[in-house]
Amino acid sequence: MSNTITFSFHNHYGYKAWMAKITGTDSRYGLSRAFCQQDRTSSRSGKTGDVDIEIDAPGVYEVGGTKRNNGFRVVWVKDGKLAWGHIEKSRAVAIARLMDDGENFEDARLATKSAS
Alpha carbons 9 and 26: distance in angstroms, whole number:
27
Split at pLDDT 50, 70, 90, the class of 116 is: very low
Q: 82 to each of 48, 77, 109, how far by Cα in Å? A: 29, 5, 14
In this structure, the strands spanning 49-55 and 81-87 are: unpaired
Model confidence, pTM: 0.89
Asked if pLDDT for residue 2 goes beyond 60, the answer is: no
Q: 112 to each of 67, 98, 101, how far by Cα in Å? A: 28, 9, 14
* Residue 26 parent element (H or E): strand 18-26
> Pick the residue with more confidence: 66 or 86?
86
- In degrees and rounded to multiples of 5, residue 72 shows phi and psi of -115, 145
Split at pLDDT 50, 70, 90, the class of 11 is: confident
